[in-house]
Amino acid sequence: MNFFIWIGIILLVFLLIIPFTSIRIEVLYQRTKENDQGRVEVRALFGLIRFQLKLPKLDFKGLDQGIHMKSKANIITKTRMEDKIGPKSIQFFKEKYQELLDHFTDFIEVTNWFLSKVTCEKWIWHTKVGTGDAAEAGILTGMIWGVKSTLVGFISHYIQWQTYPLLNVQPAFHQAMFDIYFHSIIRFRIGHAILAMKRLVWDQFVRRDKKWQSIQSKA
C-alpha cells in the first residue's frame, strides 16, 4: 500500500514540475560546397523526450534561378466545383470572414504573448556566397545582409535574447559557392505553451457559447 502511495506522490510532484520545465529546440544547418547537413532537435523533460528531424537539401542555381529545396512532396489533385451565389451564400461567407478575423486577432495576440516568453540562447548565422562574377557576388552579399538584419530585427521585437546574434556574410568574388552555417537554440517553458493553447481553446469555446446563446435568443 505504501508503495502505491509513494508512486502517487512521485507522479503528483512530477506533474507539478512539468509546467516549469523547458522545451529546447535546436536548429543546426551546415552547407559546405555540395554537402548539406541539417537537423532540428527538440528536447523536453530534462532530455527524457527527444525528437529529431532532418532538414531538406538546398540547391543553389545562381542569381538568376535562386535557391531550390530538394524534398519529397505529395501532390493532391482538386476537382472543380461550381455553385450558385445568392444572398445565403453571401451571408455565409460574411460570417465566416468575420470569424476568421476574430480568430486571427486572438491568434496574433496570444502568439505575441507566447513569443515574449521565448528565449534565444544561441543564434549564429554565417554565409559565404558567390557566382563566379564579382558584381553578382557584391549584389548577393548586400541582399543577404539585408535579409538577415531585417529578420533578426523583426524577431527582436518578440523574443528575448540570452546572447547577441552573430551574423556574417562573406562574398566569394571569383568562384561559385553558397556555404552556410546556422546554429540556433531557443527554449520556452511548457507551462507558457499550455497557457497559450488553453487561451486559444477557451476563447473558441466562449465564442461558440455566445453564438449559441445569440441563436437561442433570436429563436
Contact 126, 181 (CB under 8 A): yes
- What would the pLDDT profile of 15-33 be if each residue is shown by its tens digit? 888 888 889 999 999 988 7
- Where is mean pLDDT largest: 49-63, 80-94, 116-130? 116-130
**Angstrom distances, CA of residue 29 to CA of 63, 172, 184:** 21, 20, 9
Q: Is residue 214 in a domain?
A: yes
Closest CA to 129 of 161, 173, 185: 173
At 74, the pLDDT band (50, 70, 90 cuts) reads very low
Q: Is residue 84 in a domain?
A: no
Please state the domain count of the chain.
Answer: 1
Q: Is the pLDDT of residue 78 over 50?
A: no
Q: Is residue 9 in a domain?
A: no
| Mean pLDDT of the 117-145 span | 91
What is the predicted pLDDT for the residue at 211? 54
Which letter does DSSP use for residue 203 in this model? Answer: H
Q: Is residue 8 in a domain?
A: no
Q: Can you give the residue range of the structural domain that contains 105?
A: 22-67+90-218
Torsion angle, alpha carbons of 136, 141, 142, 145, to 10: 160
Contact 151, 195 (CB under 8 A): no
pLDDT top residue among 81 and 205: 205
Q: Is residue 143 in a domain?
A: yes
